[in-house]
Structure 1
Amino acid sequence: MYIWQNGKLVNKDEAAISPFDHGFLYGAGLFETFRVYGGHCFLLDDHLERLNAGLDLLEIGKKVTREEAEGAVKLLLEANGYMDAYIRFNVSAGTGEIGLRSEPYDSPEVLVFSKPLPPAAQLQEKGGKILSLNRNTPEGLKRLKSHHYLNNLLAWREIRHSPGVEGIFLTREGYVAEGIVSNVFWAKQGILYTPSVDTGILNGITRQFVMDLAKKSGIEVRQGLYLLQDLYEADEVFFTNSIQEIVACPRIGDANFEGLNGKLAGFLHGRYAEGRSSFYSRSEIRSEDFI
């Protein structure tokens, strides 16, 4: 299998970065994961907008263009022999002296990884479990999709004996936050709810896409600070991320929901599917498509 590293295809067994890379030493790096459907990089512009904003904030001297990203993905998929894939686009700060650095980084490492995926499926479901581990607060003013992933790793180990379940973080104050690898939505009486980014969650690209799909379909969307009881009283619950799309949740603990029978999850999954092979950004959603 090949990866793409700094403009070249490299066999995965030969790829390497320096032990002095500050992405390794201090977590100074960012990544985006997105899905490719038949060679199309879905919502690529939105992912790159978030990535580039984070790189600017961390003063990592790199701006990734759509042309560069699509070119890397195309070469990678051709070399590995598949067209439906998971893509991880990773930018690490690059090498430096040992010790925290105040100067900008000017020689980042860019690596792109891929894994084959089956063609997109119908709506799937997964149970939920409230984690005992709280969601940590962001390192800065807002959460970046960075190399700082220990909170998620420890949470993943908490549910390792519960296959088919997504762990759900609460904040230290007891507010519903997000899943280990997802954002959380629920619906009650036709209104769609999701935790606010004020809880410290990652503002997921699929989260934003689904909210825009809902709003432009005439569905009321509310973001806020919600307690666990608000979640338990929902009619339906679902998770979102860029690889699994929309995943219905039939139960969390002793609380049962509509699961695959959820009207909003089913409706939004159908609308989601209509853009898979063509959308580069959620800005392409048109209200008239849903009239």
Structure 2
Amino acid sequence: MERSQTMSDTYERSHIKIPSATPGWSLDAWKYLPRAPAKGGLPVIIMAHGITGNKLMGLAPYAETFASLGYATVVFDYRRWGASTGTPRHVIYVSEQLEDYRTAVKYCRQQPEFDPHKVILWGTSFSGGHVVTLAAERELNLSAVVAQCPYLGNSGPMKLSWAFVKTFLNGVVDVLRQAVGLYPKYIPAVAHPGEVGMLSTPGSKQGMLSLAQDTRDYPNEVAASSFFEIPFYNPNASAARITCPALVVAAEHDNLCILQAALELKDLSPRVELVVLPCEHFDLYPGSRMHEKCLEAMKAFLLERVPV
């Protein structure tokens, strides 16, 4: 189903709903189509945000850039997040989010305007880990993936603190609450160091909040049990099985998704191309100092590996 439409000189954007794997729920998405006429179906880039983020938080500039190059782009929110449906809200299930990417791939391959043989996945931070994981699934038959500052299963040593203990205990309480059908126990998604929150490394709160143009776009809450999804998720575990070209743009001084994990991924898979930029995690996003260099690396990779 398509709704509102936005036009520019180089692309048009429409609002669509993609039926999710959960009956009655849907993935809210933007579809970008380049205005220049194309012969045959368009290569399509499928995008979603990182942990606790949604598509309002800085994904449009990437999609606009890719559409201006001639790629179709579909930007979606996961179930339970952003404008997509699903309850309880703001709960992270890695398996669900991976399934949502697969659902979007299947949907795009069924649309006549897209080339079913040229499907690219794009992700950032936590979703950067998702696209690396999915690149190893041979049955998806992906053309390429692009991962910006991806979470790859190694976030460095965990510091034990009172804030960490309280976050952990909130997670236990939430597990028990949801087990008996009660509403989730929520904690802040991002917090300052020393505070309870899913992400509380220095700069995390300021960085995430800077991605939202309106504070209402980012509720900054997450079900506390989501905390337990992270330690058991290791995208690098499937690196040796990656079947398509993969670009990783990493931040040298990243304290959320450490560079060491990206270097390990490069060693594990010959399909991975690694670009390291001298910056921190949030410096790669729109409006930050390394965003343009990050985009240039992505554009060069796409045009070489999956030309329009």
Tell me which of the two structures has the higher relative contact order, counting C-alpha pairs closer than 8 angstroms and 6 or more residues apart.
Answer: 1
Bigger Rg, which one: 1
Q: TM-score, normalised by structure 1?
A: 0.27
Tell me the TM-score normalized by structure 2. 0.26
Q: Which structure shows the higher helix fraction?
A: 2
Q: Which has the higher strand share?
A: 1
